[in-house]
Amino acid sequence: AQSVTQLDSHVSVSEGTPVLLRCNYSSSYSPSLFWYVQHPNKGLQLLLKYTSAATLVKGINGFEAEFKKSETSFHLTKPSAHMSDAAEYFCVVSGLSSNTGKLIFGQGTTLQVKP
Amino acid sequence: DGGITQSPKYLFRKEGQNVTLSCEQNLNHDAMYWYRQDPGQGLRLIYYSQIVNDFQKGDIAEGYSVSREKKESFPLTVTSAQKNPTAFYLCASRGAGANVLTFGAGSRLTVL
């Protein structure tokens, strides 16, 4: 079975400091992994995705994530936080039956950015 | 611009009433999905449809119903059988051969 665990439910950083949102996954085969962002009362927007190409994936708004198979991790980082980055972030793995497009969502990490 | 439109954005319902949430997409996507979001629980799949006139139950289908009469539309009915319907509902779609979902802005349902 596949699963995804976001290790922190809440992360607080100061503006201009680095961001690290942690995600571990479990999969019996090489998965597709995603990070989505959700601002309050909005839908989800794709930040980036990993689909077995380069292990370091660059996304929008300066975010990037590194796929580490040995650690089963897909942590999201950004060198310098901006106030507009405050949102909820979801780590997502594609389901075993990938042709259905079923996704398995982590519990979410709320990112707070302090001025 | 192509996208997914959900309506209404906010909806209040009395206990015992059925309500229908609308989801329309103009992306020409074959597959559509309904998710429920509760605080601290991520997103849970209610129903999905890969083609017109066909749909499958997701992980939490009890108390919900859907239809897929048109490619563009995938309405969700929250029935009175749903014991705890207050939540944020998200509709999504996916194009053929892709594994990325495009989401609507969501509908927040509150049962009074």
Residue B112 scores a pLDDT above 70? yes
CA diameter of chain A? 44
- What tens digit of pLDDT does each residue of B39-90 get? 877 899 999 999 999 999 999 999 999 999 999 999 999 998 888 999 999 9
Question: Which H or E element spans position A44?
Answer: strand A44-50
According to the model, what pLDDT value does residue B39 have?
82
Q: Which residues of A fall below an 8 Å CB-CB distance to B? A: 9, 32, 34, 36, 41-46, 49, 51, 90, 94, 98, 100-103, 105-108
- The whole-number pLDDT of residue A101 equals 64
Amino acid at B47: Y
Provide the pLDDT for residue A95: 62
Predicted confidence at residue A41, as pLDDT, reads: 82
Q: Which residues lie across from B35 on neighbouring strands?
A: B45, B90
One-letter amino acid identity for A65?
A
Say whether B48 and A101 touch across the interface (CB within 8 A).
yes
- Secondary structure of A46-112 in the HEC alphabet? EEEEECCCCCEEECHHHCEEEEECCCCEEEEEECCCCHHHCEEEEEEEECCCHHHCCEEECCCEEEE
Put simply, the answer to whether B99 touches A9 (Cβ < 8 Å) is no
* pLDDT at residue A97, rounded to an integer: 52
Q: Phi-psi bin for A98: left (phi > 0), alpha (psi -120 to 50), beta?
A: alpha
> Which residues lie across from A34 on neighbouring strands?
A49, A92
Write the pLDDT tens digit of every residue in B22-37: 999 999 999 999 999 9
At B95 the pLDDT is: 86
Residues of chain A with pLDDT under 50: none
